[in-house]
Amino acid sequence: MTRYLPRMLILAGAIALGCFAPRAEADPGFWSNEWPRTDFSQTSVDSWAEIISGGPGKDGIPALSDPEFVDANKADLPPREPVLTVSIEGETPRAYPLRYMTWHEIVNDRIGDIPVTVTFCPLCNSAIAFDGRVGDEVLTFGVTGKLRNSDMVMYDHQSESWWQQALGRAIVGTQTGTQLKMLPSWLESVDQFRSAHPDGLIMAEPDYPRRYGFNPYQNYDSATRPFLYSGAPPPHGTAALERVVRVGDRAWPLARLAAAGEIAEAGLTLSWAPGQASALDAGRMAEGRDVGSVRVRDAAGRDVVHDVMFAFAFHAFWPDGTWMLAE
């Protein structure tokens, strides 16, 4: 099995040798050799130059399907490590550790009767779960190896259309314009998941030769510039890699929420609790600085779809979005 090297290391070496020009590949004529089933005549992207190589090729970052799970109290994981929790009414809650998601980025699963695609783009810190049903069809997804605004571009195995992970929307191919339904999910620590769901399930370690638990993007979330991003910086003096809580087209700075502990506005209640390590800080995820965990609920106390992402990514995909800077 070909060993996967993180896209940052691949590109760093290639650029240093002067043998890689990401934007030179922004051409469907070039891509069609690797993607003969993708209909490049259909797209919502203004310019092909927006889509660049992230280093690995198609499936170079291997998505997972039908993973195994272990009981939450039997999973041998550090208590502060982050997981993405997906809880569907009537089903046992499941947690997907970022120690695995960072190396695979997509997990195709089924929770009860619902096909679920769980995603994590480390370069945007975007963790979203999608319902895989589109009309009467069930889609499963893989990693193209392409980036747009430094965000993962996924593809569906059925038509090989390309999808923007942060949006959950197809941007190239026969599915162009199709929107996936986002499912309520949230990032929290292993310990927080166990405490809330003692009978829950945690995804077991995949059978791949990866350094699970190590962060291949060490110190990324304290960098001043995003990786392979050439778009406009966020407004209001917001740092590009500052975390924000996105709900629809609104963004709350995580620092504001952490300082308040709880914010009630726009018909929502956002809460923050300490205890979750950053997946993108220290070399070992378990040693990452505490970024805390966020929940977003509506007036009825129901979990609301949200994403804790980097500010640059919010601004890139929601340039006219609302920044919730103060009450």
- What is residue 201's three-state secondary structure? strand
- Paired with 271 in beta bridges are 262, 295
State the pLDDT at residue 25.
Answer: 62
Give the tens place of pLDDT for each residue, 63-95: 999 999 999 999 999 999 999 999 999 999 999
> Tokens standing for 326?
């103060």
State the pLDDT at residue 10.
Answer: 44
Give the tens place of pLDDT for each residue, 222-242: 999 999 999 999 999 999 999
Higher confidence at residue 187 or residue 55?
A: 187
Let me know how long the chain is. Answer: 327
Distance CA 191, CA 79 (A): 5
State the pLDDT at residue 60.
Answer: 97
Distance CA 183, CA 48 (A): 30
Give the tens place of pLDDT for each residue, 191-223: 999 999 999 999 999 999 999 999 999 999 999
29: left (phi over 0), alpha (psi -120 to 50) or beta: alpha
Give the tens place of pLDDT for each residue, 114-168: 999 999 999 999 999 999 999 999 999 999 999 999 999 999 999 999 999 999 9
pLDDT, averaged across the chain: 93
State the pLDDT at residue 11.
Answer: 43
State the pLDDT at residue 16.
Answer: 36
User: Are the beta carbons of 82 and 279 closer than 8 angstroms?
Assistant: yes
* pLDDT surpassing 70 at residue 327: no
> Tokens standing for 42?
């259909």
* pLDDT surpassing 80 at residue 23: no
Local confidence band at 8 (pLDDT 50, 70, 90 cut-offs): low
State the pLDDT at residue 196.
Answer: 98
pTM of the full structure: 0.93
Higher confidence at residue 3 or residue 270?
A: 270
Give the tens place of pLDDT for each residue, 91-101: 999 999 999 99
Percent of the chain residues topping a pLDDT of 90: 91
Close Cβ partners of 223 (under 8 Å, ≥ 6 residues apart): 241
- Residue 86's nearest CA partner among 267, 310, 326, 303 is 303
State the pLDDT at residue 26.
Answer: 77
Count CA within 13 A, CB hemisphere, residue 163.
29
